[in-house]
Amino acid sequence: MPRIFPIISSQDFERYQKALLGDGMTIPSTVAAPNDYLWNSDPNVVGQSGLIQNASLGWIVQMKLASGIPHTAIIYSKDANGVTFLDSNWSNDNKVQTHYKTFTQFYAMLYSSGSYSLYYIL
């Protein structure tokens, strides 16, 4: 069962993010389709290349799901077989929660094998 945080809405998540990062910094938005798994340019963003298996805790993953919908998540934890994401609205329920995906499940849920990007914020 996913861990549900006391922050229960996407709007609360945005306020929490602002409190943590400050007024001048937010998670950048995605670019327009069809490349909506890429982030918009931002001086505080450091893009990374490579596989999700090599990503570090706290990095942000922007992905295009098989349904064609973009989604953004934070890498909350990792093990040898998969990754736990922290995100909001995963189940279309406006809740901030964690959920685990094996690496195989992660690649299977994507629009295509390369339809994700990794970055961290300075």
Sorted by where each begins, the domain ranges of the chain are: 10-121
CA 41 to chain centre: 16
Residue with tokens 């945080």: 5
> pTM of this prediction?
0.74
| CATH code matching the domain that covers 10-121, chosen among 3.90.1720.10, 3.90.700.10, 3.20.20.80, 3.40.50.150 | 3.90.1720.10
Q: Return per-residue pLDDT of the chain as tens, 122 residues.
A: 344 444 445 555 555 555 555 555 566 666 777 776 777 777 777 888 889 999 999 888 988 889 888 888 989 999 999 999 988 878 777 778 888 999 999 999 999 878 898 988 77
